[in-house]
């Protein structure tokens, strides 16, 4: 029973994260840029390129919770979680390609997929042994 609750929690985290990612990535770009201004300003204050922080670190970081939620839901199966998360990233990039206010990028797809894989791998490393012990 406890395993089922944990897995349902993983699906809840994954669904909420996916919903937020779709909302965040499909809105008109000026709205998103305005919300990211505090991060960009902080990066530039520390001598970092705002484009690098938002484009690279941001694309990886925002997909980590999706990978974690999927991996929990799938009992630590990092590969399956990564494929599902990469599929969502592919859908997002495809939809962005169709939207005049957004920009689609292969680099974003790769970075998003890396974020999913990182989150899934973290769960795989930390929880796989626990699940094996209880099975």
Structural domain of 40: 2-134
Predicted pLDDT at 37: 67
Number of structural domains found in the chain: 1
pTM score of the predicted model: 0.85
Instruction: Return the C-alpha torsion angle 64, 67, 68, 72, nearest 10.
Output: 180
* Rg over CA atoms, the chain: 16
pLDDT per residue, tens digit, the chain (135 aa), is 788 998 999 999 999 999 999 998 898 876 666 666 676 777 788 887 777 777 788 899 999 999 999 999 999 899 999 999 999 999 999 999 999 988 899 999 999 999 999 999 999 998 867 766 665
Q: What is the pLDDT of residue 135?
A: 56
């Amino acid at each position: 029973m406890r395993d089922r609750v944990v897995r349902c929690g993983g699906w809840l985290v994954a669904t909420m994260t996916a919903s937020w990612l779709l909302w965040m990535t499909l809105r008109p770009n000026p709205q998103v840029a305005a919300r990211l201004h505090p991060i960009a300003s902080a990066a530039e204050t520390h001598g970092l390129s705002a484009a690098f922080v938002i484009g690279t670190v941001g694309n990886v970081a925002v997909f980590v919770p999706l990978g974690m939620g999927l991996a929990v839901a799938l009992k630590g199966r990092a590969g399956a979680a990564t494929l599902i998360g990469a599929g969502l990233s592919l859908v997002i990039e495809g939809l962005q390609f169709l939207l005049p206010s957004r920009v689609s990028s292969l680099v974003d797809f790769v970075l998003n997929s890396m974020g999913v894989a990182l989150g899934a791998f973290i769960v795989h490393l930390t929880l796989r042994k626990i699940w094996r012990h209880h099975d």
